[in-house]
Structure 1
Amino acid sequence: MRQSSAAFRLLAPLIAVGVLAVGCGPSPATPVSTPTRSAAPGPAQTAAAPPLRTAPAPSALDLPVGSLYKNPANNRNELVLADVRHTAVLIGDSQAMPKDSWPQQGIAALGYKLHVVGMGGTGFVAANGTTGNYIDALQRGDWILPYGDPPLIVIQGGGNDASQKATDAQITSNAERLLAALKKRYPGAALAMIGTLARGTDNGGGRRTEVDALLGRLAAKHGIPFVSTGDWLTRFNAVGDLQDGVHLKPSGHVKLGAVLARELTALGLTARPDSAAPAK
């Protein structure tokens, strides 16, 4: 008994130390809480980055002429022109593409500068393997339209749709899509259409003259000025000015360019000094 009491007196200090040590730590059943940080950034914290801002318009950026600008309004690349307020946009096929073509000469004679997009072998439905048809090429960005507000947009074509045997329904559907896209993108611009150059119904115009008439009906439906060219080759004695049965020699471009200028002027599409779009 005395031995046990002595042993207890020796162990008591050690037991007390152990109890104190265990009492200083958390209970195994109690989770350790994580300190909550203040929402306000402290000296060692970095503030959140500001939201992305829309780039200012090219006039504010002073972009050089010929630069591409991604327009946040439509998320498309657009070309910065020197004077878009006096520039007409021409969308067309191989009839319109040569420099000084009859469509280009006719529109330029009204007092406009020109921005031309398009390619030979294309049309409302027709594609040429390198680019899509008019609406697809524009929607995909194959052809770049200008930034700003051009006063006039002219659509020419239909010949390749005729040669590739596009149906009336296909031509109408794609032409409707094209017109809707252009009206949405350039609501302040006047639209005009030039039909399909051909010989006329009584002179072998065939499907080309039919497509010209179809486009005329579509333009009338939308109230868009239309120049029918489905018999121009014979009416204006330009058959002798053809170089390959379809495309004109320079003499033919001059001849029909003057005719087109007269037709467009009669439709009230002459450029105005105040840069206002022609009456729709």
Structure 2
Amino acid sequence: MSTPTTMTAAQLPVLSRRAVLTGALATGFLAVGTNPAYSSEHLLIGAIGATYRSNAQMRLELGAPVAAESASAYGGAYQVFAGGRAYWHPATGTWWVRYGGIFDFFHAHGGVEKWGYPVSNVYSNGRGVNGWSLNTYHPVTGARFSLEWENTLGVVPVYLNGSIGSTWASNKRGIGFPQSTEQSLSSVAAYQVFSGGLAYWNAATGTKVFSHGSYSRTGAQNYLRRTDMVLGPMDALVIADSQANLGGTVVGVKQGEDPSWISQGLRAAGYSPVHYAYGAVGAVAAQWFFPSFHQGVVGNAFALPVGSPGLIYLGGSGNDLWVGLGYWQVARYYLEIIAVLRQLYPGARIVLSEVLGRRIQEQGNRAELSAALASAGASVGVPVVPCRYWVSDFGVTHLLADAVHLTDNGHKALGQRFATWLRAENLAAGGFSLFGAIGGYYRSAGGVERFGYPTQNEFASVAGGAVQNFSKKWAIYWHERTGAHAIKWGTAIGNRYERERWELGSLGYPATDEYAYAHGAAQEFYHPVSGGRAIVLWSEGTGARVVNQRGAIHQRYLAAGGVSRFGFPVTDEARGADGVVRVRYSSGAVISWREGRGVWVS
């Protein structure tokens, strides 16, 4: 057994809360075993005494024995010394703990019965005089702990047998000092806070360490929530079983092209699905590697993202037929899940689905559970996806892979049906209203085929304007001085508008749609407060550049040949330290302006 770094004589006072023998008396104790006149010789018996006689460091740290070795739990022994206590067990050997913060915690919180026996002495844990550690092993349970002491927090234990503890032990310096004990979220999820981040474990993904700010406790119930993902009105949170979780689906990640009928329907209705779904689970049914929906939401094992999704899909699962509960007992679990989801996402709309199935006698139990879920949903005002007979009613029985699961073509067919249901229930992309100038522009400029579905209602913005966002990454802006015009997010001009803080920044509102300009594109803007007008010019080689549309530089640019002579701007119009306002163009020319001189080309 390797011995951890032990405390030197100079370090001893840091942790000691009791007197340590010094001077001539200590010298006498250090000589025990060689001084037959020593009066406590008779106390040094057994394995602990043998180690004491042979180990000068032990004698230095513990001082004189004050009692003989005594029997302890699980076939071990301990002995009290002036400066601490020594422990022995056949599975661990002899180690000792000096009086101080770690000793006090060890004995106040269960001693060897809880923590087992030391397998190290108290040693520096790399945080200088402010940090010390003690490792222990329980000879009956096999549990291993590291008791970590730091002068501002005291002692915090780390359970080393678990995934979180072993991850920490492999990278103590990077993960840092424990700031909480390990907190269980369910039988398949837990977390622990360290100075370097939050370690989160669930049985499906193992332990991952997130920087502070990635997770936090929020709300009246103090739920653990993901803060590195913020759900918005275009997102749909999916809590479901294998009907939603197909090959390649990653839990807690926005799904791009996963082929489940649930995701296909949500995408067709304008949403980006975010899955907390896994096979063989349900509201009650769970696996050793993945929590049930109830454990995940009510028990907090999912640590769901923050934000406000446009829709939450809670899937009725046939796996709950095999948990030994009645249909209404299962339905009550779904109601408890819905209640917590409403607390976590008060602005989101929730849909509950029946259990997907066929009109056959062999699936009567699925229909019975579906009926209970439909009644439960209606009782709390939650729309219910009426899919209990969809496989039969929509003629996709031949597209089943087995009795209850669909082939890819089956998922595609039912995905279209699900999207149709969402639209019919006014749930597509939020089911939000379209009216006024923005609604008129939407319908005349391409409607759902171009813009997708609205992801929110029109909202008022600065200086009397209005904005509405849509599922195909468009926004339509309106102001009485500009009318209604659209911005496409993800394009060069759209990205530049976002960089300038949308209508809140210096550009103001779009005054035109984006239009072709020579071999590039342009879009004009108007600021209703300053009255300024700007134009964003883009080409593939120069990027999106902002120019004062009515300024002297742009007017000279247009009058002197525009793109054909100067090309596109490669810089924004900006004032230099010398007071000169300049724009540089792809031809190499520079158009400048200064008060008192006017504009010139160089």
TM-score where L is the length of structure 2: 0.33
Secondary structure of the structure 2 residue equivalent to 1:187: coil
Does the alignment pair 1:126 with 2:285? yes
Which whole-Å CA distance do the structure 2 matches of 1:155 and 1:199 have between them? 20
1:97 is matched by which residue type in structure 2? N
1:242 is matched by which residue type in structure 2? L
2:237 is matched by which residue type in structure 1? V
Matches within 5 A, 1:152-231: 152-200=311-359, 202-231=360-389
Residue 69 (structure 1) shift: 2.5
2:214 is matched by which residue type in structure 1? L
2:225 is matched by which residue type in structure 1? N
Secondary structure of the structure 2 residue equivalent to 1:193: strand
Q: Which residue of structure 2 aligns with residue 92 of structure 1?
A: 240
Residue 274 (structure 1) shift: 5.1
Secondary structure of the structure 1 residue equivalent to 2:410: helix
Q: Higher helix share goes to which structure?
A: 1
Q: Which of 46, 63, 68 does residue 214 from structure 2 map onto?
A: 68
Which whole-Å CA distance do the structure 2 matches of 1:249 and 1:197 have between them? 14
Secondary structure of the structure 1 residue equivalent to 2:350: strand
Which whole-Å CA distance do the structure 1 matches of 2:379 and 2:303 have between them? 28
Please list the CA deviations of residues 138-177 of structure 1 after superposition, one character each: whole Å capped at 9, or x if unmatched: 2444324221111211111221112445312321221121
Summarize the Cα distance change of 1:196–1:70 in structure 2 as closer, same or farther, 3 Å threshold. same
2:379 is matched by which residue type in structure 1? K
Please list the CA deviations of residues 60-106 of structure 1 after superposition, one character each: whole Å capped at 9, or x if unmatched: xxxx9xx7331433341315336623211111000011222001111
In the comparison of the two structures, how many residue pairs are matched?
Answer: 212
**Rg larger in structure:** 1
Structure 1: which 4+ aligned runs deviate by more than 6 Å?
A: none
Please list the CA deviations of residues 19-50 of structure 1 after superposition, one character each: whole Å capped at 9, or x if unmatched: xxxxxxxxxxxxxxxxxxxxxxxxxxxxxx9x
Which whole-Å CA distance do the structure 1 matches of 2:231 and 2:339 have between them? 25
Secondary structure of the structure 2 residue equivalent to 1:108: helix
Gaps of 5+ in 2: 1-151, 153-209, 247-257, 433-453, 459-602
Which whole-Å CA distance do the structure 1 matches of 2:267 and 2:415 have between them? 9
Which whole-Å CA distance do the structure 2 matches of 1:129 and 1:97 have between them? 17
Which whole-Å CA distance do the structure 2 matches of 1:256 and 1:203 have between them? 22
Please list the CA deviations of residues 171-191 of structure 1 after superposition, one character each: whole Å capped at 9, or x if unmatched: 122112101101111111111
Is the contact between residue 231 and residue 308 of structure 2 (CA under 8 Å) also seen in structure 1? no
Does the alignment pair 1:112 with 2:254? no
Secondary structure of the structure 2 residue equivalent to 1:97: coil
Is the contact between residue 88 and residue 112 of structure 1 (CA under 8 Å) also seen in structure 2? yes
1:95 is matched by which residue type in structure 2? Q
Is the contact between residue 117 and residue 144 of structure 1 (CA under 8 Å) also seen in structure 2? no
Which whole-Å CA distance do the structure 2 matches of 1:235 and 1:157 have between them? 18
Q: Higher strand share goes to which structure?
A: 2
Gaps of 5+ in 1: 1-48, 50-63
Q: Which residue of structure 2 aligns with residue 34 of structure 1?
A: none
Counting aligned pairs with the same residue, the percent is 31
Which whole-Å CA distance do the structure 1 matches of 2:377 and 2:313 have between them? 12
Residue 132 (structure 1) shift: 2.7
Secondary structure of the structure 2 residue equivalent to 1:81: strand
Does the alignment pair 1:248 with 2:396? no
Which whole-Å CA distance do the structure 2 matches of 1:90 and 1:166 have between them? 24
Which whole-Å CA distance do the structure 2 matches of 1:214 and 1:276 have between them? 34
Q: 75-84 or 239-248, which moves further after superposition?
A: 75-84
Residue 233 (structure 1) shift: 1.3
Summarize the Cα distance change of 1:174–1:247 in structure 2 as closer, same or farther, 3 Å threshold. same
Please list the CA deviations of residues 100-119 of structure 1 after superposition, one character each: whole Å capped at 9, or x if unmatched: 20011111111011111021
Q: Which residue of structure 2 aligns with residue 234 of structure 1?
A: 392
Q: Which has the higher contact order (CA 8 A, sep 6+)?
A: 1
1:231 is matched by which residue type in structure 2? Y
2:411 is matched by which residue type in structure 1? H
Is the contact between residue 118 and residue 143 of structure 1 (CA under 8 Å) also seen in structure 2? no
Is the contact between residue 71 and residue 147 of structure 1 (CA under 8 Å) also seen in structure 2? no
TM-score where L is the length of structure 1: 0.69
Q: Which residue of structure 1 aligns with residue 225 of structure 2?
A: 77
2:240 is matched by which residue type in structure 1? G
Which whole-Å CA distance do the structure 2 matches of 1:79 and 1:245 have between them? 40
Which whole-Å CA distance do the structure 2 matches of 1:121 and 1:188 have between them? 30
Q: Which of 102, 123, 127 does residue 261 from structure 2 map onto?
A: 102
Q: Which residue of structure 1 aligns with residue 124 of structure 2?
A: none
